[in-house]
Chain A
C-alpha cells in the first residue's frame, strides 16, 4: 500500500491547478481559495474515506465543492469585516462592471449552494467546470442520462430559487420607494 502523503502529492501535482481554479470560481476570492486548498489537502490527509474512494480525483473535487459552499454559508452567517475584504476574482476590468458582475455571481453561487448535494455537484461539474456528461457520469458513478436529468432538475430549481429571490428583492424595492 502506497503512502497516502505520496498519493496526495501526486494528486496535488496532477489536479492541484484544477482544484484551485474550481475553489476560486466557487468563492470568487483567490486568497480564500488558497486557504481552502490547504484545508482540503489537510482534510484529505486525515480522511478515512480517501483510501476507500475508487476515484481519488473525484473524491477530492467533491470535497473541494463542499468546502467552498461551506465557506459561503459561513460567510452568510459571519459577514466579512472591512479589513478582510479582498478584490474579487473576475475577468471584468471596469470597477463598476466588476462590482455588478460579482454581485450577480454571488447570487447564483448562493442559489447553487441551496441545491442538494448531488444536483450541486453535477451542476458545478457541467456548467462551471464544463465537463462532458460522460465524464461527470464516470466521476459521480452514475449514468450519463441520470447526470443529464440531475443537471436539468438543478437548473429548474436554480431558476425557481433565483426567481423567488428576485421577486422578493423587487417587492422590497417597491416598498422602499413607496415609503
Chain B
C-alpha cells in the first residue's frame, strides 16, 4: 500500500471528523429523544411505582420470591401434568375409533345372539308347535271322522231308505203281478169250469141221444 493511499484514507477520515450537523437538526434530534424518554417514563412509571413501594422491605422480597417459586412449581406441575381433556374432541375420536373397531364385533355378536335366541326359541317352539299340530291334527281328524261318520250315516240311511223303497216298490209290483196272475188264473178257472160244464152238458146230450 502506497503512502498516497494512506494519506487519502486519513484525509477522508479527517473530512468525516469535520462533518457537523446543523444546530437546528441537533436541537430537533435531542428534543425528539427527550420526548420519547418522557413518554416512556410516564408509561412505565404508572406500572412500576406500586411495585417499587412494595419491594422496599426484605420481607416483601422474600415473600415475592416464595410466591415466584410456588408459581414456577405450579406452572411446572401444570405443564408436566396431562393437558385438560378436550371432551368433545376425545368423544369424537373415541366414538369414531370405537365405532370402527367395535362395530363389526358388536354386529357379529348381535347376529350370533339373535341366531341363538331364534334357535332356542325355535327349538322350544318346535316341540310346542309339534304338540299343537298333533292336537290340531287329532282334532281335525276327529272332526273329520265325525263328519264322515255323520255323512256316511246319512248316506247309508239314505241308501237304505232308497233300498227299502226299491224293495217295497218291487214287492208291490210283484204282488200286483201275482194278483194279476191270480185273477188270470181265476178267470181261466172260471173258463175251465164253464168248458167243463159245456162238455158235461154235451156229454149228457150225447148220451141222451144215444139212449
The residues of B that contact A127 with a CB separation of less than 8 Å are 10, 13-14, 16-17
- A12 contacts B33, CB within 8 Å? yes
CB-CB under 8 A for A30 and B16, given A42-B40, A163-B1: no
> Which residues between 1 and 36 of chain A lie within 8 Å of chain B, taking CB atoms?
3, 5, 8-9, 12-13, 16-17, 20-21, 24-25, 28, 30, 33-34
> Which residues between 106 and 164 of chain A lie within 8 Å of chain B, taking CB atoms?
107-109, 127-130, 155, 158-160, 162-163
- A16 contacts B30, CB within 8 Å? yes
CB-CB under 8 A for A109 and B25, given A5-B37, A5-B41, A16-B33: no
Q: How far is the CB of A39 from chain B (nearest CB, A)?
A: 9
- A34 contacts B29, CB within 8 Å? yes
- B26 contacts A17, CB within 8 Å? yes
CB-CB under 8 A for A20 and B16, given A34-B29, A41-B36, A159-B6: no
Q: How many residues of A contact B (CB 8 A)?
A: 41
Q: Give the complex CA separation of A129 and B20 in angstroms.
A: 11
Cβ-closest chain A residue relative to B18: A91
The secondary structure that dominates the A interface is helix
Q: Give the complex CA separation of A21 and B41 in angstroms.
A: 25
Q: Give the complex CA separation of A83 and B38 in angstroms.
A: 31
The secondary structure that dominates the B interface is helix
What's the count of A-B pairs with C-beta under 8 Å?
104
CB-CB under 8 A for A12 and B13, given A24-B19, A159-B1: no
Write the B1-19 contact mask toward A (1 if CB under 8 angstroms, else 0).
1000110011011111111
Q: Give the complex CA separation of A30 and B18 in angstroms.
A: 14
Q: How far is the CB of B135 from chain A (nearest CB, A)?
A: 105
Q: How far is the CB of A133 from chain B (nearest CB, A)?
A: 15
The residues of B that contact A28 with a CB separation of less than 8 Å are 19
* Interface status of B57 (Cβ within 8 A of chain A): no
* Interface status of A58 (Cβ within 8 A of chain B): no
Cβ-closest chain A residue relative to B40: A45
* Interface status of A55 (Cβ within 8 A of chain B): no
The residues of B that contact A12 with a CB separation of less than 8 Å are 30, 33-34, 37
- B5 contacts A159, CB within 8 Å? yes
The residues of A that contact B38 with a CB separation of less than 8 Å are 5, 9
Cβ-closest chain A residue relative to B12: A108
- B21 contacts A20, CB within 8 Å? yes
- B5 contacts A163, CB within 8 Å? yes
A-B pairs, 7 with minimum CB distance:
A5-B41, A127-B13, A34-B29, A16-B30, A24-B21, A41-B33, A159-B1
Question: A-contacting residues of B (Cβ < 8 Å)?
Answer: 1, 5-6, 9-10, 12-22, 25-26, 28-30, 32-34, 36-38, 40-41, 44
